[in-house]
Structure 1
Amino acid sequence: MPSPLRPPTARSGLHAPSVAQGGHWPSVAGMSMVEIMIGVIILALVLIPSLNVILSETKAVTGTRDHTMAAFVAQNLLETARNYKFAYLEADQYAGKPDIQKTTFEYALTHDLKERTINRIKYEVKDARIDPVKNTISPGDPPILLLIKFAIEYTGSDQRQHRLDVSTALVKQE
């Protein structure tokens, strides 16, 4: 006699009645559609928050990359300033000499080096200033210290405006 948990087979000498004859399979252990749907819902409830975390972390990494690149651009500009002779950092002292003024770092910072594109993001130099610091020990002597200030502005991957303010001082080397 076949087990009530197994369908009848030809080996047991019984044949399952056809659906047309009004027959049905005996109850068989297994997963029903409801159990499968509950499993899918539980899986979705776990996966959706996990995907949200992954997406938000990706945005954070991208934002950090954009800010790091802005700092890289600023550092590159400061290194460029250090490569100029001290006398050619500030443009204002050559106000009457436009040919010489165009060779200064301040002019380059506000014209030639004004923008740079990295990873499809445009980094722009804004509010660039180079201010000489008066020599209080010898007021008649030219300044030996310059304050360099500028900002790097960019629209990040998050489509928001960002700004990195930079300032440093350069001392005249003997």
Structure 2
Amino acid sequence: MPQQKTQSIDTASSNRFRIREHKRLTIPESIREEIRLGNAMKDYRPISPLEFAPYENAEGYEFSWGHILERRAGQYLVWDFCFNQLLGQYLSTGRRLNDLQRTVFFELERIVDCTTRDIVQVLSMRDGWKIMQCSTLGVFTLVIHFTEESEAREWVVDNLLNSVIPEIIGQLSASKPDHK
């Protein structure tokens, strides 16, 4: 049986996330490449600055596997989870961000009970949080009602950062996706 590659838990980064010690983020090369590939499919039009807009003044948290892009939208806190290295692996095999999103979200649905494919559930939240597969640049998005931010941070550290994300990334890194 092939040995699975596992991700180590980055406690320093998790602690910075827990105490809200965010930093300025720059657009990673894997996401630049995803945008370039998308443009190549659209008659080679030039890349517009709007395509990089989510990273203009972007703040978030860096990890060994990528980053969490943080923004506020009305009564919600939004975290886009970007698996930079894994996206790079997918791109090198002819797959795209949407392939990675589908695969990761399928795994999340099996492991975590706060996933949804229904935007209405998210937009009508009065408390709590939901994971969605709607990120334009990330692998998935976690939307948190502002009243639950502290609890959501603890849940993310205890569940996603310490077990779910390392498990999923390890599993997907060990499997070699075929070329399309």
TM superposition score category, shorter chain reference: under 0.3
Larger relative helix fraction: 2
Task: Determine which structure has more spread, i.e. the larger CA radius of gyration.
Answer: 1
- Per the normalisation by structure 1, the TM-score is 0.26
Q: Greater strand percent: which structure?
A: 1
Structure with higher RCO (Cα < 8 A, 6+ apart): 2
Please, what TM-score do these two structures have when normalized by structure 2?
0.26
